[in-house]
Structure 1
């Protein structure tokens, strides 16, 4: 389970808007001499908005400190479906287009096949985003600041 400390910014009905209070990740040597500053790349286009909505199962109030809990596999699964699927289908589409081209205009056919692969990946990712089962595997949950994140297996 991946955990991050957060503070509740506001609460409405069964949703809590939380702000991550500490940046997590890397080896912790970002600003030290010899550090690679790898976590700085996340702010290349400006600081990200770290306030987002989470299902409120704890009955929190504004100002409460909580722990955000994300299943270990969730970030990798999301990245593989978002980016990996697009790359694989683009390459397969380009290869198929190249094969169908025969003797002429192989580059044009490969480009059209690659675009078709990307379009298919886009449609599949949009479909997955609407799937309750898929979203359930990527859910962020909350625990009390002093409590532990409960392990959920999918």
Structure 2
């Protein structure tokens, strides 16, 4: 399970605004000598904001620290469906358009078939994002950050 720590900025109407407190990046050696600096690719369009909104599954207050958990495989599954489905249907649509094209009109039909494939992929992705079953596999979970909680003995 992938996890990240965050701080609650505000909580209202069953939603919680969070700011990541963990340093984003792969191995954590990005800026060290010998590091690959690969995290810089994620900053092409500006630095990440690190703030986002999630449904509040537990009672939280501003300043609380939480642990956000993402089930194993969820990001890969979401990427495969989002990008893989679009790529597959684009290629299938282009191939189908080429096959049904009359002599000399293959390119135009391939473009039309590819566009139809992309439109179908977009529609299917929209349907999936509304599917409660699909979203349940991608759900982010919030839990109090145990490393920030005081033990009963420490508070005495």
Normalised TM-score (structure 2): 0.88
Shift of 1:12: 0.3
Whole-Å Cα distance in 2 between the matches of residues 136 and 142 of structure 1? Answer: 14
Give CA-to-partner distance per residue, 1:62-82, whole Å, 9 cap, x none: 001110011011101110111
Comparing 105-114 with 83-92, greater Cα deviation is found at 105-114
Matched ranges for 1:115-134 at <5 A: 115-134=115-134
Paired residues for 1:4-153 under 5 Å: 4-146=4-146
Partners in 1 of 2:13 and 2:116 — Cα distance? 43
Q: Which of structures 1 and 2 has the bigger CA Rg?
A: 2
Q: CA deviation at 1:41?
A: 1.2
1:75 and 1:91 map into 2 onto residues whose CA distance is 23
Structure 1, unmatched stretches of 5+, are 148-154
Counterpart CA distance in 1 for 2:125 and 2:110 is 22
Structure 1 contact 54–141 (Cα < 8 Å) conserved: no
Measure the CA separation in 2 of the matches of 1:34 and 1:93: 45
C-alpha displacement of 1:122: 0.4
CA distance in 2, matches of 1:79, 1:28: 23
SS of residue matched to 1:115: helix
Q: Tell me, what secondary structure is at the counterpart of 1:120?
A: helix
1:110 Cα deviation after fit:
0.8
CA–CA distance in structure 2, aligned partners of residues 102 and 82 of structure 1: 32
Q: Contact 1:91/1:114 (CA < 8 Å) preserved in 2? A: yes
Quick one: distance in 2 between partners of 1:5 and 1:101?
55
Question: Which ranges of structure 2 fall in alignment gaps of 5 or more residues?
Answer: 148-156
Q: Give the CA RMSD over aligned residues.
A: 1.4
Indicate the larger mover: 85-94 or 36-45.
Answer: 36-45
Give every structure 1 segment of 4 or more consecutive aligned residues whose post-TM-superposition deviation is greater than 6 Å.
none
TM-score by length of 1: 0.89
